[in-house]
Amino acid sequence: MFVRVHILSLIFFISGFSKEPTAGEKLFSLHLKPLFAEKCMACHGDDPEKIKSDFDMRTRESILRGGEIFEDEVLIPGQGNKSYLYLLSTRVEEDLEMPPKESDKLTYEETGWIRQWIDHGAPWPSEQRITEIQDKYAEGVQVVTSKALSDDWQNRRYKEEKLWAYRPLKVEKMPAGEHPVDWFINRRLKRVGLKHAPDASARELVRRLSYGLTGLPPHPKEVRKFEKDFNQSKKALSTYAKKLMNSPHYGEHFARHWLDVARYADSGGFANDYSRPNAWRYRDYVVRAFNHDKPYDQFVKEQLAGDEINPNQTENLIATGFLRMGPWEQTGMSVFKETRQLWLDDVTDSVGQAFLAHAMQCAKCHDHKFDPVPTRDYYGMMAVFSTTQFAERNASFLPSEPRNNFDSFTALVQSKITSYEKQKRDLQEKINRLRKEETGSAKVGDNGLDPGDEASQSRIYKNLIRHQIELDRVQPFTHAVYTGKTITRNNVQGRLDMPNSPWQKGYFDSDVIYDGGDVYSEGDTVIPGGLSAAESLGKMDSTPFPAGKGKRRLALAKWIVDKKNPLTARVMVNRIWSWHFGRGLAGNPNNFGGTGELPTHPALLDYLADWFMKNGWSVKKLNYLILSSDTYRRSSRHPDPKSLDEKDPKRQFYACFIPRRLVAEEIRDSMLWASGELNPMVGGIPVRPDINSEVAFQPRQIMGGTASVYEPDPLPQQRNRRTLYAEKLRGLRDPFMEAFNQPGSDASCELRESSTVAPQALTLLNAEEVQDRALAFAARLLREQKSDPAVIQRAFELSLGRKATGEEVVACVMRWKSALKSENKKKPVHPSFPKKIKRTVMAEKTGEPYDFWEFLPASTSYQPDLQRSQTDARTRGLAHVCLVLFNSNEFAYLD
């Protein structure tokens, strides 16, 4: 082999370019060869067994021969305009557009190449000559990667601009004394000839900062102080920012951002949606990490490999919960090998998205269509996790983990268990009494039993298991992983214990490429690794990862936080930027590949990424840097909107601040905050707030029956916590949160959306939970203020962070008075809360509905929030005004 190659290159050397390539040859070698490979060959040659429409594009001869539909008219050398190879590529033939997918369609330039190439006689140079021509003339960049599935892919070229994320940081020198954010942002504004907006007002800024750093509104006292200080010196902003970052609510708010990326949930989803009783410890770990300003590199390492670093550190074990955050279950109806693979795919993709802004799934079945990520890299990264196993590991509670409500929670779950156990006994007694010897004809009722009772038996059995699992919530376990062999499991219900010796029982998952993504089709062997393009283009030192029983995840974690890794710091800096400005410097925080939006300010992104690493990967310091810029202070209103529309239609140059709607959690938290009901306690087991009762009482199908009814926590101070702490069940979403675009926990969410639809208005106008807040808000106001105008002033301060104008006071007082008249006529009745509810579901054995009673043991101790029956008409009248304030645009939007 070597000899032959040697001789060939010798011939090249002697001959050089025997003759200059023709225009046709160049077109083919530089453009059409790679174009055919990317867009056509998947159906017309890559797999000779499966050639669509019998049209084979592997050689000039086979193209000339044509296929099923077109024959020699496919390629008529010299006549591009008449050749169907060209015509179909221009998509003029309905149903025969090529390539078939609209998203794959060729550009005008590309179809032009095909036509011209045919016009030039459709020459097809030899492979050697193609290489020769490419080496001399090709534009674009080749990327060294691990190894592609095909040579064409391996040799393909990329536009330089699409490779920005893999290149080492380019850190520009900046004039001394300049603020880096402003220097880069203003340079761009100057270039496009756009003036920036002036500073926002102090009142706008104090709200922007407070929500931006804590997700909560500023206290009226803070507003007044900030206004005074800021008008004296702009430094007041930095001082206030520091103060906010020292508040424990900062960590909660930033955790919420990160948990969107990690897709945190307290249950596993799918058919059973079993509780993940210890997941909350991961949620609190993230809160603590942000509050303590844990260096980001450490944060990454702990989540990926905390156990491999030091399993005796509780915090390390808790952190690995990240790896298990996706939806997952294994039941008697699933094949373990497949669900295991489901997790491996999930973790590979989510690690790629969260830390490297790469949707790895795109490279699972074939080399990545756009990015330099070969399938081998996908399976290499998957191999990092092939020895990672699930366990609920022993981890005693840290002093920083609040254990409030442990007893009340246990009592509540226990009361449900007791109730089900009693039902089970009663039912068993009845069944024992009625059961008859079966005749063997297998008919319903042949056993003498009521099919509804039989269904109830399985339902009760299942709910007992479900609640037993929940009891682990207060046990010192953590939802974690260990490194060892894979053990086949048929049915996973609840806690998985650590084996005594992780390498004894079980098997090694194969570290291979699964051809076409099929877990039963093993291909080439792979070794654990990261993204090879990041190594080659980023000029990283590539150190091999261990395989076998080695610490594979630790190796990956170190690779990710290697300061030479071109992606990691950029990715996190971009996220933090997007959390402050509502959009990333690169528009897709989870996708830095060629299909993601290119960065609008690459130099700034690189500068900040470098700065971030040099400043100890400190998120707080980076926040501080960003918030102390002029850019952050800008008003959301541009003085010259016409010029803004013209020069920055996409609003990507930061000439003004982009206003934003509060996210779902902020809306609820702010209402609780204004009404004075918010319990600001930080951390702890999930809480169960009041949710829409129709949804709470709706029977929810799970495998084997109907899940027990959702019951809110009994005491207001337990329920009225920040929304971050609300139990997040994949199978039962809070409709309030859903209405306001809280993402589901199935996929990683890079940035919140904010739609405006009428159901949101229905929720804020009619939902019981909003009515309750408005009433409590009114009661609070009347406790604190005497005169009508003072009450209204206070209402504005607490809900909108400002004083009301005279006109507003008049309007609100008028509304209050007319509402008072209406309320005077009403005699609110104290609502009763059911102790049991009747449910009707289908019995599987009969295909007919049956009823059963569901007991609500928690509701015996349920204390509602302030009720209309407990208030006078004056309070209830004011509640209408409060409701309006909660519905107002000013409440929902930040300038």
Partner 1 sequence: MKTQNIVATLSRREALYGLGTGIGSLAFSSLAQAENIHSIGPHLTAKAKRCIFLMMEGGPSHIDTFDPKPELAKRHLQRFKRNGERESAMSSGERYFVKSPFGFKKAGKCGADFSSEWYHLKNYADDICFYRGCQVESVNHPTACYHVNTGNRFGGDPAVGAWITYGLGTLNENLPGFVVLPRASYPQGGASNWSNGFLPAEYQGTPLRPEGSPILDLNLPTGMTRGDQRGNLDLLAQLNKKHFQQRPQQDELKARMSSYELAYRMQMEVPGILDIDGETEKTREAYGIGDLKTDAFGRKCLLARRLVEKGVRFVQAYAGNWDSHDYISRAHGSLIRSVDKPIAALLGDLKARGLLEDTLVVWCGEFGRTPDNGIRGGGTSYGRDHNPKAMTMWFAGGGTKAGHTIGATDDIGAEAIECVHHIRDVHCTWLNLLGLDDNKLTYYHAGRYKQLSQFGGEVIKDLIA
Torsion angle in degrees (nearest 10) through CA of 163, 168, 172, 177: 120
Between 406 and 697, CB nearer to partner 1:
697
Give min distance, CB of 771 to partner 1, in A.
5
Q: With binding defined as CB under 8 A, does residue 741 bind partner 1?
A: yes
Rounded-to-integer distance, Cα 510 and Cα 249, Å: 45
Rounded-to-integer distance, Cα 609 and Cα 618, Å: 11
Task: Give, in order, the Cα–Cα distances in Å from 493 to each of 392, 393, 502.
Answer: 12, 15, 20
306 close to 282: Cβ distance less than 8 angstroms: no
Count the neighbouring beta carbons within 10 Å of the beta carbon of residue 618.
17
Between 391 and 696, CB nearer to partner 1:
696
Q: How far apart are the first and last CA of the chain?
A: 69
What string marks each residue from 582 to 601 as x (binds partner 1 by CB under 8 A) or -? ------x-xx-x-xx-----
Pairing of strands 893-894, 700-702: unpaired
Given candidates 350, 760, 793, 875, which one binds partner 1 under the rule CB under 8 A?
A: 760
Between 405 and 760, CB nearer to partner 1:
760
By CB under 8 A, the residues from 484 to 503 that bind partner 1 are 490-491
Given candidates 30, 202, 205, 362, which one binds partner 1 under the rule CB under 8 A?
A: 362
DSSP symbols for 752-787: ------HHHHHHHHH-HHHHHHHHHHHHHHHHH--S
- Among the listed ranges 414-422, 576-584, 614-622, 826-834, the one in contact with partner 1 (CB under 8 A) is 826-834
**Furthest C-alpha separation in the chain:** 105
Between 400 and 771, CB nearer to partner 1:
771
What string marks each residue from 79 to 118 as x (binds partner 1 by CB under 8 A) or -? ---------------xx-x--xxxx---------------
Task: Give, in order, the Cα–Cα distances in Å from 29 to each of 39, 117, 122, 555, 644.
Answer: 15, 10, 11, 41, 45
What string marks each residue from 782 to 811 as x (binds partner 1 by CB under 8 A) or -? -------------------------xx--x
- Among the listed ranges 12-20, 332-340, 417-425, 779-787, the one in contact with partner 1 (CB under 8 A) is 332-340
Q: With binding defined as CB under 8 A, does residue 638 bind partner 1?
A: yes
Between 557 and 812, CB nearer to partner 1:
812
Give min distance, CB of 74 to partner 1, in A.
21
Give min distance, CB of 394 to partner 1, in A.
29
By CB under 8 A, the residues from 120 to 179 that bind partner 1 are none
563 close to 613: Cβ distance less than 8 angstroms: yes
Give min distance, CB of 841 to partner 1, in A.
5
Amino acid at position 794, single letter: R
Rounded-to-integer distance, Cα 812 and Cα 808, Å: 6
Nearest to 401 by CA among 325, 468, 477: 477
Task: Give, in order, the Cα–Cα distances in Å from 110 to each of 36, 83, 89, 688, 752.
Answer: 10, 15, 9, 58, 37
Phi, psi for 647 (deg, rounded to 5): -95, -20
Given candidates 431, 767, 782, 837, which one binds partner 1 under the rule CB under 8 A?
A: 767
Count the neighbouring beta carbons within 10 Å of the beta carbon of residue 893.
13
Between 63 and 882, CB nearer to partner 1:
882
Between 20 and 95, CB nearer to partner 1:
95
Task: Give, in order, the Cα–Cα distances in Å from 471 to each of 6, 232, 413, 481.
Answer: 71, 55, 7, 20
Given candidates 269, 372, 602, 714, which one binds partner 1 under the rule CB under 8 A?
A: 269
Between 92 and 335, CB nearer to partner 1:
335
- Angle (CA) 740 744 750, round 5°: 85
Peptide bond just before 123 cis, omega within 30 deg: no
Q: With binding defined as CB under 8 A, does residue 881 bind partner 1?
A: yes
Given candidates 228, 826, 835, 836, which one binds partner 1 under the rule CB under 8 A?
A: 826
Nearest to 565 by CA among 529, 600, 590: 529
Between 302 and 371, CB nearer to partner 1:
371
Between 301 and 688, CB nearer to partner 1:
688
Count the neighbouring beta carbons within 10 Å of the beta carbon of residue 498.
16
All residues at 6 or more sequence positions from 273 whose CB lies less than 8 Å from its CB, including other chains: 267, 702, 707, 729, 730, 731, 732
Give min distance, CB of 823 to partner 1, in A.
8
Q: With binding defined as CB under 8 A, does residue 632 bind partner 1?
A: no
Between 550 and 864, CB nearer to partner 1:
864
Between 604 and 884, CB nearer to partner 1:
884
Between 61 and 95, CB nearer to partner 1:
95
Q: With binding defined as CB under 8 A, does residue 544 bind partner 1?
A: no
Given candidates 706, 723, 742, 793, which one binds partner 1 under the rule CB under 8 A?
A: 706
Rounded-to-integer distance, Cα 738 and Cα 282, Å: 23
By CB under 8 A, the residues from 434 to 463 that bind partner 1 are 438, 440, 442-444, 451
By CB under 8 A, the residues from 841 to 880 that bind partner 1 are 841-842, 844-849, 868, 876, 880
Q: With binding defined as CB under 8 A, does residue 762 bind partner 1?
A: yes
DSSP symbols for 403-427: -TTHHHHHHHHHHHHHHHHHHHHHH
- Among the listed ranges 146-154, 208-216, 297-305, 756-764, the one in contact with partner 1 (CB under 8 A) is 756-764
Give min distance, CB of 258 to partner 1, in A.
18
By CB under 8 A, the residues from 684 to 703 that bind partner 1 are 692, 694-695, 698-703
What string marks each residue from 504 to 543 as x (binds partner 1 by CB under 8 A) or -? ----------------x-----------------------
Q: With binding defined as CB under 8 A, does residue 661 bind partner 1?
A: yes
Sole residue written with tokens 């603590």: 288
Q: With binding defined as CB under 8 A, does residue 757 bind partner 1?
A: yes
Between 8 and 762, CB nearer to partner 1:
762
Given candidates 116, 238, 334, 510, which one binds partner 1 under the rule CB under 8 A?
A: 334
All residues at 6 or more sequence positions from 687 whose CB lies less than 8 Å from its CB, including other chains: 405, 713, 718, 719, 721, 725, 726, 727
Q: With binding defined as CB under 8 A, does residue 566 bind partner 1?
A: no
Rounded-to-integer distance, Cα 419 and Cα 422, Å: 5
Tell me the angle at which helices 873-887 and 788-800 cross, rounded to the nearest 10 degrees.
30
Judged by CB under 8 A, the number of residues near partner 1 is 116
Given candidates 761, 830, 833, 861, which one binds partner 1 under the rule CB under 8 A?
A: 761
Q: With binding defined as CB under 8 A, does residue 195 bind partner 1?
A: no
Q: With binding defined as CB under 8 A, does residue 817 bind partner 1?
A: no
Structure tokens at 886: 């909660």
Give min distance, CB of 215 to partner 1, in A.
20
What string marks each residue from 341 to 360 as x (binds partner 1 by CB under 8 A) or -? -x----------x-----x-
Give min distance, CB of 411 to partner 1, in A.
28
Give min distance, CB of 880 to partner 1, in A.
5
Rounded-to-integer distance, Cα 779 and Cα 269, Å: 40
By CB under 8 A, the residues from 364 to 383 that bind partner 1 are 365, 369-371
Amino acid at position 184, single letter: F
Q: With binding defined as CB under 8 A, does residue 400 bind partner 1?
A: no
Rounded-to-integer distance, Cα 587 and Cα 562, Å: 24
Give min distance, CB of 143 to partner 1, in A.
17
Count the neighbouring beta carbons within 10 Å of the beta carbon of residue 524.
13
Between 127 and 844, CB nearer to partner 1:
844
